[in-house]
Amino acid sequence: MLIECKDIFKAFGNRQVLKGLDFSVEKGEILSIIGASGAGKTTLLQILGTILSPDSGKVIIDGTDVFSLNQKQLAEFRNRKIGFVFQFHHLLPEFSALENVIMPALIGKTLSVKEMKDRAKDILAELGLAGKEESRPSELSGGEQQRVAIARALINSPELILADEPTGNLDSVTKEELHNLFFKLRDTYGQTIIIVTHDPSLAERSDRILEIKDGSFV
């Protein structure tokens, strides 16, 4: 078991967004979370990513009660254990693809700069971006930019990848390529992947689907 969530509540003002969610995620599982806009999907993903804390309840990731950690410990845990992929890739425009990919490794300081660059080159090549290492984001297609973002999520070898609408901004052909890529990554690296998506074709290929409605699982 990689993740256990117990009785997760979260409100913003008077609006109760998450209403006592309980679930677990196995290691190596690809889980899709679906639901209408405003149902609480992204809030839940941000809590799983330790970006947002719940009002009550526990999130245990790889045996660690994450919200019992202090801020420094939590930041280190997040950097080491969790990779993020968003709908909008959030690449830094002034840096090359390679430089964008190594950013989390520079923060984590667990590898030498040479090791970071070598690993980043290997991941970019595996994602079909060999020869694009020095390209700026503006010189890459939307699909290529998203692959750079995925490489960035992989650089620290995290056990958990969290993806928020990762194909929501792409054309159908590129979407299908990235769908295939998520499953290849799981098979290659053994990572656990949780995807928030409105895309039924991506959700249906997952190992399991959880649907949120009005802050609760259907």
pLDDT digits (tens, 9 = 90+) for 75-100: 889 988 898 887 667 789 999 999 99
Low-confidence ranges of the chain (pLDDT < 70): 87-88, 108, 167-171, 173-174
Give a yes or no: residue 213 inside a domain: no
Question: Residue 169 belongs to what domain range?
Answer: 3-208
- 201 assigned to some structural domain: yes
- pLDDT attached to residue 175: 72
Give the count of domains, the chain: 1
Whole-angstrom distance, CA of residue 35 vs CA of residue 38 = 8
Question: Is residue 185 one of the residues assigned to a domain?
Answer: yes
Please tell me the predicted confidence (pLDDT) of residue 32. 93
Q: Name the pTM for this structure.
A: 0.87
State the CATH number of the domain containing residue 129: 3.40.50.300
**Structure token pair of residue 54:** 């719940």
